[in-house]
């Protein structure tokens, strides 16, 4: 493993976002990469494509505008958030493969806990079958491998989203990252269109029947990320 995950605990979102920006803006070609693993108090974050109409009722939950890709998502207690701060030039792979490796680390983390994660074409993140979270059967809506395959609208039938992904790459260096739902109050997701998709159901390991402590899930995810993001 070339990364050593750093567990920074429960931290407010905005100062963490600002710290990622500062780290990336001031790093040099010799700066060691980092992997921050944390948990946030309740917050909605908007990506660059975020639209205000995707938040129905934020109530007392703050909204933070960010420069990551994607639309609105929710962070809160019981969710493991990971921020890889990588120099992709040094790692030796491009953004598309970086995203694939992030998702693969989540899939392998879920498999560790007996749950099968799936990719959906056109919709970054990881999903599980609501009726059979252990099923290895391939999804018909999995990403197309044909070089000239026409893009299709994501199909979330029978699926719940268990991990979200939103990244930023600046001067070939990554920040922001991904979030895995472990044991959360999922109600705040019902006040938004998660990632901009109306009706998309959000789940966590707990609702899939897996009882695991946040720290254990954080440790496994950190280890998988360190392994799968290696050059």
**Positions marked catalytic:** 195
C-alpha 91: how far from its chain's center?
A: 20
Residue 222 CB partners (closer than 8 Å, separation 6+): 5, 7, 35, 37, 82
Q: How far, in Å, CA of 172 to CA of 93, rounded?
A: 10
First CA to last CA across the chain, in angstroms?
Answer: 9
DSSP string computed for 184-212 = ---GGGGGB-GGG-TT--B--TTTTT---
Sheet holding 118-120, edge to edge: 6-10, 34-39, 79-85, 173-181, 159-170, 123-129, 118-120
CB 55 within 8 A of CB 173: no
């Amino acid at each position: 493993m070339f990364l050593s995950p750093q567990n920074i605990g429960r931290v407010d979102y905005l100062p963490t976002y600002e710290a990622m920006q500062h780290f990336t803006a001031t790093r040099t070609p010799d700066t060691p990469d980092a992997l921050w693993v944390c948990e946030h108090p309740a917050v909605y974050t908007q990506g660059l494509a975020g639209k205000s109409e995707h938040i129905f009722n934020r109530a007392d939950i703050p909204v933070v505008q960010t420069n990551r890709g994607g639309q609105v998502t929710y962070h809160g207690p019981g969710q493991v958030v990971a921020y890889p701060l990588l120099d992709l030039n040094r790692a030796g792979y491009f953004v598309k493969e970086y995203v694939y490796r992030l998702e693969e680390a989540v899939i392998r983390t879920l498999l560790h806990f007996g749950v099968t994660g799936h990719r959906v074409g056109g919709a970054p993140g990881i999903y599980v079958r609501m009726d059979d979270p252990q099923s290895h059967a391939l999804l018909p809506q999995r990403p197309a491998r044909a070089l000239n395959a026409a893009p299709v609208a994501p199909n979330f039938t029978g699926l719940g989203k268990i991990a979200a992904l939103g990244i930023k790459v600046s001067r070939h260096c990554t920040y922001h990252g991904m979030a895995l739902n472990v044991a959360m109050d999922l109600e705040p997701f019902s006040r938004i269109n998660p990632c901009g998709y109306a009706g998309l159901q959000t789940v966590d390991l707990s609702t899939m029947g897996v009882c695991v402590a946040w720290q254990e899930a954080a440790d496994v995810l950190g280890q998988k990320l360190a392994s799968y993001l290696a050059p």
